Amino acid sequence: MDEAASCRESESCHENVNGHKILLRLKSIGKSVCSEYSIEKDLSSIVLSPTVHVLVANLFLLLLSFLCSFTVGALISSGVCCIISYNMIWDIRKGHHRTCFIPWNCIKDIYIVEAISLHRVLYNIVVLIEDEVKGSTSSHTSLKLIPLFQGTKPRLSCLETIYQSIHALLRNESGTCGERSKNMSIDSSKFILTVSHCLYEDQVGKFDWHQNYVGDVKFAFGDASGKRGIVATALNVVAALNLKTGNILWRHVLERDGSISFMSITSGGEALVILEGDKTLVRAFDPVTGALSWEWTAPSSLPVDRVSWAVSTDKLYAVLLNDGVGFAVQQFNIRTGAVISKWQSSAPWVQNERQVSNKLLFCSILYPVKSLDKPGVFVDFGSSNTVKSSQVVIFSEQSNVACKAVSSSAQWVINDLSQKSYVLLQFLVKNDELHIITSDCLSGTTLQNSPISVPWPSSLEPELKTVICGSNKDDLSSCRLLLHTSDEAVTLLQHTGKVLWVREEALASVVATEMMDLPVSDKDAAIEKEFDSKEAGVLGMFGRRLVSQALQLQHLMQSVFGLDEPHQPSGQRADLVRDDFGLHKMIVVATKAGKLFGLDNFNGEIVWQKMILNVDTTALQLFVQRTTRHAPYPAQCSLLLKDKVTKESVLYTFNPITGLGSRKNLGYRALQTMLLPVLDAESLRPIVLLDSSEKVHIEPREAISLADSFASSLYMYVADPATGIVRGYTFAQSTSERLIAARVWEVVFQPESQTLVNVVGKNPQERVHSQGRVLGDRSVLYKYVNPNLVAVVTQGTDSLHKFVLNVYLLDAVSGAIVFSISHKRAREPIHLVHTENWVVYTYFSEKWRRTEIASIELYEGKTQSNSGSFSSLIAAPQPLVERQSYILPAVVQAMKPTVTEKGITSRHVLVGLASGAVLELPWMFLDPRRPVTVTPEMREEGVIPYMPELPIPPESIINYNKSLPLISGIHTAPSGLESTSLVLVYGLDLFYTRVAPSKTFDLLKEDFDPFLISMVLIGLGLASYTTKRLASRKALKQAWK
């Protein structure tokens, strides 16, 4: 059995307990180390008190099943407790427990040694600490045994939690014995509760995946070795890419309050990056390790919008242009930032459009060398540019001049091959092909194997970022081209035309996402078609029943004999079919670049991708009009965008499983949209759109009659952040030919005093299972579940409090403000979650300089006004409002509640933190009814005491040690299992996982043994049958007596 080779030790703490100096440590050491330490310290036998013997006797029957494992607990004479557990793999699958008892007042050091095999933690320890009665000197005094840790297969990271729990027990040294026992019991129960959320080490990567990205590339260079490509992106990320595989070798995320304006490679090989913001930072990174080599701040006298940078050997030049006046040049030491020299020139002809190269020479004309018949440009070796009908001027070592015409709209780069010849490399896209032309600059002759054509869509518009050559500079085929396209993809292309790898960096800027159920197989679709075809008559339905059952019988026989092959809908991958538990889904992602992706949620693989050209994605909306549950109709989604030129709305309709779609220019600007709450004849939910002239449109237009039948119950609201006006519309005046929107209410938030920040409504697909909350006195507090309620957030200013944050709960049908609250000296960033009968939002407190989180919960009272459907048109009493605020010791970047299919499972709030962690926060911590003093009724209800600061336990971080920088959003979706919610976290990276807020109560555990259960059932059946025969025989004998 493999032992733990590493040693993990948590922080040490010193406490005085019963007059003894206690140093408490939790440590992982190997078997040999522990044995040597035990022998050296005179290892003695386990010390057990009489009370412990009694408890062991009571657990004797449980310990009989532990024959395949053993736990050793030894108390060393110096007060060091060494607990060792060696268990077999069979035993850990059975979930057995081992127990060791150590006297409380004899422990100074605790060492926990685990035995690890196949990266599975094979230990399970229960430590019982004896709480000695205060003032008692008798050795036979009854002792209280407090369970400290009890659970199955705790993960390695739980060692720190064990240490914190023991530390909390040690601090409870004051007070009576009863008080100490009570406090210890509370701490122990909290600890046991948190351990239940631990992730086992062998489960890492089993239900989750993580994809790293760098963002839209702005600058790119190759290092001296030719093995790494250094890139800087629009998301202020500096990274090194492996040119062989495209993987990220190292990555740094810089400050967000600025942008990277310049990047270059120094003479020493470091990657020099200039970040311009409130102050200009100059940093250099080691290309191999990514370590920071040096950093300094540029003078504040350099304006960001009029300065250009250039690097030459060990000097950095800043060129400051003054339009119509001239320019100034400052020379800095590239490592220290010290100003070496300054130079100014009066050049009134210099304009703001400038380009600074590494080597510049200004001189007067002595005599003309050669005249150009086309506009010319001077270039530096290794540079690249996009020119039109220009000529490249090359000065050779023989002092002659060569000119080379460049094709129109081509991009070019010049390479110096061993200082013998200069190669001009041109490439252009024409007729969906990328043409690469290589020629000698001085002679003008085309080199061998040129030109080369590569299939390439013309719409992608490639841009050459850099050319990276290997060690063999004489061979041009060793050079690789790093291309950046309009869809934000990064492609490494070899000179021969071979595509080495592609990175889809558009996934670093996700703006909308949905999770779609996969379609059923052809076999299952035939069964559904059987029950849906009621117009075929009795004979037709009977024939379909025979065919479907014959198919089922065939599938059963193939499954029994292992000959079954996966069935899939026509034209799809074989594995893209719905599973039994609804866990396999298609993730549809829309990005800022206007590119759509279909991702497999099992592994994050890109199934399909589609680029939508010439669109603006600032106001993008993604709709699910039809799911895969309506076979034989395919699933359908729609994406609402804006045309870049006309600014009119564009509707792109596509199949989320295959990616096939069509584009439609609507011809108007949509202000607000919504899906009809009913399905048409093809199980499609039409989209209702309100344009800028308040005219109503519907897509598809054939659904106008369906919308008219429900027009009296349709309402819509529009919020205008520019004017601060929120308007409500009704469609009750619609006709069968067209829909008519009429204003019914208007709420004005004065833009002079407050700005409209956000309007958040409820998820129309959410399910509310429980209509009330059972209190401790067995009464019911009914929830105020208003589906038309929206939360409006405004940010105002005040002469006294500077910043004022206002939150309004507004009924979108009647326009009534149900509740409002103001927070003084509070400002953005604001993140809000609105679901069921509660609202949770975060803000930054200017007074206390911290992030606070507030929760609002609405109740109708102990009587329900309407047990049926809710109506905003019926006057209802004002709801009872419970509100509370907490301190969150972190910076929040995104929030989202978990969602399940039926709404039975408890809701947790997922919080994306700036540290890269995603916190799963149970609602019980955010409950506004948490009192300072818990009464017996509230304790029975399950309400915990109020604590101002919310904890961030490590075991509640769902992405464990995988940091996610720049989190922009969290998407949750239900699965077929009521206990499980699917989570996608997006930002700079993508992270997918599953969460079970109420545990997997509807799923058998992995260690479930069906063979044992079957044997038990068979044994019970045989025993019942045997007993029945014996009883009948006995009854027969007694009847003959």
Most confident of 459-463, 769-773, 973-977: 973-977
Residue 531: per-residue pLDDT: 62
Report which of 689, 700, 699, 698 is spatially closest to residue 729, judged by C-alpha positions: 689
Cis peptide before 951 (omega within 30 of 0): no
pLDDT at 120 over 50: no
Q: Is the pLDDT of residue 294 over 90?
A: yes
Closest Cα partner for 935 from 777, 827, 699, 1041?
777
Residue 127 has pLDDT above 80, yes or no: no
* DSSP structure class, residue 762: -
Strand 209-211 with 217-222, pairing: unpaired
pLDDT at residue 25, rounded to an integer: 31
* Average pLDDT of the segment spanning 217-242: 93
| Higher pLDDT, residue 282 or 153 | 282
Per-residue pLDDT, 70: 38
Q: Reply yes or no on whether the pLDDT at 131 is more than 70.
A: no
Residue 148 contacts residue 102 (beta carbons within 8 Å): no
In percent, how much of the chain has pLDDT > 70?
Answer: 68
How is residue 803 written in tokens? 């910043």
Say yes or no to pLDDT of 379 above 90. no
**pLDDT for residue 673:** 94
Rounded to whole angstroms, the Cα distance separating 810 from 955 reads 37
Token readout for 245 is 């595989």
Domain boundaries, the chain: 13-203, 522-560, 668-748, 1009-1041
Strand partners, 60: none
| pLDDT tens sequence across 826-878 | 999 999 999 999 999 999 999 999 999 999 999 999 888 877 778 888 877 88
For the chain, give the number of residues: 1041
Complete edge-to-edge strand list for the sheet that includes strand 696-699: 670-675, 687-691, 696-699
pLDDT of 321 reads 76
Predicted confidence band at 155 (pLDDT cuts at 50, 70, 90)? very low
- 365's CB contacts (< 8 A; 6+ apart) are none
The average pLDDT across 779-808 equals: 91
Task: State residue 459's pLDDT score.
Answer: 82
CA-wise closest residue to 280 among 266, 261, 252, 293: 261
Mean pLDDT of 907-929: 95
Is residue 319 predicted with pLDDT exceeding 70? yes
Residues whose CB falls within 8 Å of the CB of residue 786, separated by 6 or more in sequence, listed in order: 811, 818, 858, 870, 872
pLDDT at 879: 92
The model's confidence at residue 548, banded by pLDDT at 50, 70 and 90, is confident
Give the range among 110-114, 122-126, 458-462, 504-508 with minimum mean pLDDT. Answer: 122-126
- Interhelix angle 158-171/177-195, nearest 10 degrees: 170
The confidence score (pLDDT) of residue 497 equals 81
941 phi and psi, to 5 degrees? -70, -25
pLDDT on residue 444: 63
Instruction: Tell me if residue 416 falls in helix, strand or coil.
Output: strand
pLDDT of 65 above 80? no
Q: Per-residue confidence at 603, pLDDT binned at 50, 70, 90? A: very high
pLDDT in tens, 467-499: 887 555 455 556 788 999 999 999 998 877 889
Question: pLDDT band at residue 398, thresholds of 50, 70 and 90?
Answer: very low
Calculate the alpha carbon distances from 854 to 237, 928, 930 in Å.
Answer: 33, 8, 13
Task: Find the mean pLDDT for residues 110-134.
Answer: 34
Q: How confident is the model at residue 576 (pLDDT cuts 50, 70, 90)?
A: confident
Does the pLDDT at position 466 exceed 80? yes
Which has the minimum average pLDDT: 375-384, 629-638, 907-916, 982-991? 375-384
- pLDDT band at residue 53 using 50, 70 and 90 as cut-offs: very low
Give the residue-averaged pLDDT of 540-557: 77
**Contacts (Cβ under 8 Å, ≥6 apart) of 484:** 216, 217, 220, 462, 463, 465, 490, 491
Give the chain's mean pLDDT.
76
End-to-end Cα distance, the chain = 66
Highest mean pLDDT pick, 556-565, 787-796, 996-1005? 787-796
62/332: higher pLDDT: 332
Tokens of 214: 């760098």
What would the mean pLDDT of 127-134 be, rounded to a whole number? 36
pLDDT band at residue 668, thresholds of 50, 70 and 90?
very high
Residue 118 clears pLDDT 70, i.e. is over it = no
Q: Is residue 915 predicted with pLDDT exceeding 80?
A: yes
Strand extents, DSSP E, 585-656: 585-591, 595-600, 606-611, 615-626, 636-643, 649-654
CA distances, 7 to each of 26, 33, 117, 156 (Å) = 10, 11, 16, 11
Residue 621: predicted pLDDT: 93
Helices 522-532 and 537-560: crossing angle in degrees, nearest 10, is 160
> Residues with Cβ < 8 Å from 745, sequence gap 6 or more?
727, 728, 814, 815
**The pLDDT of residue 371:** 42
For the record, the structure tokens of 118 come out as 């196949």
pLDDT over 50 (residue 434) = yes
| Confidence at residue 401, expressed as pLDDT on a 0 to 100 scale | 47
pLDDT confidence bin for 448, thresholds 50/70/90: low
- pTM exceeds 0.85: no
Question: Containing H/E element for 974?
Answer: strand 969-974
